[in-house]
Amino acid sequence: MDGKFSISDLTSFENLVAPKVLKIVYWLGLIGIALACLASFVGAFGVMQYSFASGLGTMLVSIIALGFGALMWRVVIEMYLVIFGIYERLGDIKDGLKKDV
């Protein structure tokens, strides 16, 4: 793969499109995780009206969830990239074996 993307890549299965799409999915997922944690953090102020400790705990959990969620999301995306990398390497091995025969 030369790293260039063209419209013909969408109609043929010679080049994988998923690794390129995964980069977009990664950033969209990070934005989603950040927005969910921000909503939880802001919602903690409403909880503080009833219980200060619960509101403070919710704030702390939302901050921890942001870090842990971002880390786990990165691991999931990297696992998919490894799978696609294995597929590409197997194709290279297959092509190499054809040349040797």
User: For 49-62, what is each residue's pLDDT tens digit?
Assistant: 999 999 999 999 99
User: Mean pLDDT over residues 61-78, rounded?
Assistant: 96
Q: What is the pLDDT of residues 28-51, one digit of tens each?
A: 999 999 999 999 999 999 999 999
Q: Please state, for a pLDDT cut of 70, what percent of the chain lies above it.
A: 83
Separation in Å, CA 1 to CA 10, 72, 85, 91, 99: 15, 28, 11, 11, 18
CA distance 40 to 62: 6
In terms of pTM, does the model score above 0.85? no
Give the residue extent of every domain in the chain.
Answer: 16-95
CA distance 17 to 9: 7
